[in-house]
Amino acid sequence: MEHFLDIADHSPEELQDILDLGSRLKKEYFAKGNPGLFKGKVLGMIFQKPSLRTRVSFDMAMRHMGGDALYLSPNEIGLGKRESIADVARVLSGYVQAMMARVFEHAHVLELAKWSSVPVINGLSDLSHPCQAMADALTIEEKFGITKGLNVVFVGDGNNVAVSLMQIAVKLGWNFSIASPEGYDMPTGIIEKNRKVAAGTGSKLAFLRDPHQAVKNAQVIYTDTWTSMGQEEETAKREAVFPPYQVNTKLVDEADKDVIVMHCLPAHRNHELTDDVADGLHSVIFPQAHNRLHAQKAILARLFGVA
């Protein structure tokens, strides 16, 4: 792999290989610690948005594997403002062995990759969240084992998290449904691209308005905040639209008896997800968050070519 920018860039075999490696590294870490395969390597971490999971999981992934990470705040770089993205990419390429960028515009991470001579990882953009999707897939495989034909349902806004979840679903042969209100659908072009992939892997896709219809027979229910970072001006409007899409006990009870509930966090509790569900028996939101660490170790290892 040269970069890790979007799930759509990678074959099912490549993605499964990363997931298998992540599972192995996780078991290894808890048994005896990970080997120092990243010794002498530094990950430059560029942030335009605040972060808990992305920052800490990448930092600790590097440390666990013998490397180091360098945090670069929005004010330190001013990506595309204080200095051109092309110049930032070429300068940092001489200092670090890989870059991770958490940005507002997907075009920014693509521009970094274009000019960088070291691997670039998309830590989140307005289009997609591929590292989150890898942690999600690792969590789902840990729960269900063989996942082909699994029914995965996203309830809420057709945002970047939903896009990456759909992308990995069609790559790995899951059935994917999304229930979202009118005006909050995923981009049409991305849907059509994933329909073509699904035709080859046997995945079934469904785009619905009614969350109760969507969760019938669901083994996975996934939700996210109604208002993402950068959409704060829409908060009042969104909070008037999304209450019917809340993941609560009633909705969960309509799914498969062994359903798991997922959320990429941070959660606005008792908005998109009620407390009793978030902290209930079906919830895997904290193991899911912890798996960011192990999935990202595997991504880094493949990019560094050391495992």
CA–CA distance from 283 to each of 9, 50, 230 (Å)?
A: 30, 25, 27
Residue with token string 């860039």 = 9
- Between the alpha carbon of residue 117 and those of residues 67, 113, 207, the distances in Å are 19, 8, 40
Identify whether 64 is a catalytic site residue.
Answer: no
d(CA 113, CA 4): 9
Q: Kindly name the residue from 64, 224, 238, 294 that is annotated as catalytic.
A: 224
**Distance of alpha carbon 270 from alpha carbon 243, whole angstroms:** 10
Is residue 131 annotated as a catalytic residue, yes or no?
Answer: no
| Peptide linkage before 266 cis (omega within 30 of 0) | yes
302 catalytic residue (yes or no): no
- Is 282 annotated as catalytic? no
For residues 103 and 127, the answer to whether their CB atoms sit within 8 Å is no
Catalytic residue among 3, 53, 64, 102: 102
Start-end of H helices in 116-267: 130-144, 160-172, 188-201, 211-214, 235-241, 249-253
Helix (H) or strand (E) holding 16: helix 12-32
- The one catalytic residue among 238, 263, 282, 292: 292
Helix (H) / strand (E) element for 208: namely strand 205-208
Q: Which of 129, 238, 263, 302 is catalytic?
A: 129
Active-site residue flag, 102: yes
- The active-site residue, picked from 246, 263, 264, 271, is 264
Query: Does residue 224 have an active-site annotation?
Result: yes
Radius of gyration for the alpha carbons in the chain, expressed in angstroms and rounded: 19
**8 A C-beta contact, residue 45 and residue 123:** yes
Per the residue annotation, which of 6, 48, 108, 132 is the catalytic one?
132
H or E element in which residue 292 lies = helix 285-304
Rounded to the nearest 10 degrees, how much is the dihedral formed by the CA atoms of 94, 306, 123, 30? Answer: -130
Sheet-wide strand order for 42-47: 68-72, 42-47, 98-102, 120-124
Could you give the residue numbers annotated as active site? 102, 129, 132, 224, 264, 292
